[in-house]
Amino acid sequence: MKQPDWTEAVEHLKQADPKMAAIIERIGACKLEIRHTHSIFYTLLRSIVYQQLAGKAAAAILKRVEAVTAGDGVLPTPEQILAAPDSALRGAGLSQNKLLAVRDLSAKTLDGTVPELRVINRMTDDEIIEHISQVRGIGRWTVEMLLIFRIGRPDVLPLDDLGVRKGMQVTYNMRKLPDKKRMVKTAARWRPWRSIGSWYMWRASELK
């Protein structure tokens, strides 16, 4: 599936906010990519496995989970996760909390609490967050990352994201990290493209 063209968003940000325009000049074109290929279930499964782990360790555990459920190289379904014995999932490297979380995700996917993509596409951001954050181990931030990077919603501002906070501090020469109230006020000029503004804040947080 074709990636979005963010030219309109970038032009809006540059015109709406001189400090954002300056950071865009340093960073260049927006390269925010939408990950179209994975199901909502697998994207969330991956998020749970990756929580609080380094990328390599998490990737190895995820591969073992796939091997003991769907077979190596095949992405597991909710039914396969629920059918797998606890011993197999624990042996793959899942902690007890993550085991409970992936089972809850599977059950709530099957009962519709976690909607299918065609249903999600008709829902507001807040409705999606309300539904999916009912899953054990999944909070608002995880759903916001889903909204930005999987579903492609353009106006999400992840207030709990440290990278976005650091990027704002750099871009707007703040003495300390902004609180949520200041973040909302600062990003008001970015609307309706706060996801793209957030992408630039992540890049700004990495600048030397």
Phi, psi of 22 (to 5 degrees): -65, -40
CATH number of the structural domain spanning residue 132? 1.10.340.30
Please tell me whether residues 111 and 194 are part of one structural domain: no
**115-165 pLDDT, tens digit each:** 999 999 999 999 999 999 999 999 999 999 999 999 999 999 999 999 999
In-domain check, residue 170: yes
- Domain coverage including residue 19: 7-34+156-205
Q: How many residues does the chain have?
A: 208
**3-50 pLDDT, tens digit each:** 889 999 999 999 999 999 999 999 999 999 998 788 999 999 999 998
In-domain check, residue 1: no
Tell me the pLDDT band of 1, cut-offs 50, 70 and 90: low
Please tell me whether residues 190 and 172 are part of one structural domain: yes
In-domain check, residue 2: no
Q: Answer yes or no: are the C-beta atoms of 167 and 202 closer than 8 Å.
A: yes
Q: Answer yes or no: are the C-beta atoms of 196 and 12 closer than 8 Å.
A: no
Please tell me whether residues 141 and 163 are part of one structural domain: no
pTM above 0.95, yes or no: no
Number of domain units in the chain = 2
Q: State the average pLDDT over residues 90-101.
A: 96
Question: Which DSSP symbol is given to 121?
Answer: T
Say how far apart CA 18 and CA 140 lie, in whole Å: 30
pLDDT at 4: 84
